[in-house]
Amino acid sequence: MGDLPTLQALANISVQDDAEQTVTLAQYLGKRLLIFFFPKAGTSGCTEQACGFRDAFPQIEAKGALVIGISPDAPKALAKWRAKESLPYILLSDPEHRLADAFGVWGEKSMYGKKYMGIIRSHFVVDAEGKIAAAEVKISPKDSVKKGVAALLKDA
């Protein structure tokens, strides 16, 4: 999978989760993960992506895997959105986009002709050894859910 990081390589990057606890992705070594990056909590596309993973969560959990959502939003905004949408997995706050940079999903975007930097919607399936097993970058919310869940369940 090219230059994508392993979870071990991310051990020095700590962020806050939606409960304002400090975490690193390396602490999830030994678990299979579906990590998805989304631009902003509460927006329509991000809600579609997050709720799609929520709806597939029983299948994911049955295979012993976890889902982790990551965005630049503050922990309190993530907690509010997680509660509103009944998301059964943690959300991580990456305001300095250190994780997004590590995964190569912080980049130039364009809306209404205006260019700006932001999160490029994506997902990554991580195996129990901490290696990226599947990746999709610049993907629609619906396809992210469909392809991410299929890739995660295929290797189970």
Catalytic residue numbers?
46
Helix (H) or strand (E) holding 122: strand 122-126
The DSSP letter of residue 56 is H
C-alpha closest to that of 92 among 8, 10, 6, 4: 10
Calculate ∠ Cα 120-124-127, nearest 5°.
165
Q: Which structure tokens are listed for 51?
A: 């709720």
Q: β-strand 22-23 against 15-17: which pairing, if any?
A: antiparallel
Q: Are 78 and 94 in contact (CB under 8 A)?
A: no
Alpha-carbon distances of 109 from 3, 47, 74, 142, rounded to whole Å: 21, 19, 21, 19
